[in-house]
Homo-oligomer: A and B are copies of this chain.
Amino acid sequence: VITLLKKWRVLAEKNVFRTKWLSIRQETCEIHNGKIIDDYFIIEGGHVALVFALTPDKKVVLVRQYKHGIREIVLEIPAGGIHDDEAPEVGARRELLEETGYVADEFVLVATHIRSPSKSAILDYVYLAKDAYPTGATQFDEAENIEVELATLDELRKLLHAGEIRDLGGVAAIYQVLDYLDRLG
């Protein structure tokens, strides 16, 4: 693609907010037209792993849990933050096990999504876990409280259409993997 678009140039940056979970960086930038702006804020945080775990009898592993940002109990696929010292697939395997007790031999990276291109460099890593099976105990974080459910692929599509699954990361991940499975045939 031929494009006349120009990237910005970062002239200065500083941390303006820092917690264990979330940090904010303020940047001074020269933008495309040469103008300088000094109040561009970028959200820093670890990347995210999402797992579409499919059992041998073609059921998808879902998790229902309370999420305090939206103040709702939501139905999602297993997902969580990748630790700084983890490869994305290692984080995906850990989150699947912790939240559901399921494991799988083969993890396929189906897509990576940019969570919020204007505000952050955080990526979602979308995995298909093939022939997933339960090993027993879940290992929740202290703030987690999760119920595990299984859905057929038809049920999963209905949950999407009805808005029962509507977290952005999960919706994009589920559609990507369904599309990938359709293309495999």
**Chain A residues packing against B (C-beta within 8 Å):** 1, 3-8, 16-17, 19-22, 24, 27, 29, 31-33, 35, 37, 39-43, 64-74, 76, 111-121, 124, 142-143, 145, 147, 160-161, 163, 166-169, 171-172, 175-176, 179, 183
Contact = CB atoms under 8 A, between A and B. Distances in A.
B73 A7 contact: yes
A21 B116 CA distance: 14
Contacts of A68: 8, 27, 29, 40, 42, 118
Given A67-B114, A112-B166, 17 more contacts: A3-B147, A7-B66, A7-B71, A21-B41, A32-B145, A43-B43, A69-B117, A69-B119, A70-B120, A113-B167, A113-B168, A114-B166, A161-B179, A168-B168, A168-B169, A171-B176, A175-B179
The 4 closest A-B pairs by CB, nearest first: A67-B117, A175-B175, A172-B172, A113-B168
A21 B121 CA distance: 17
Given A113-B167, A168-B124, A175-B171, A43 B66 contact: no
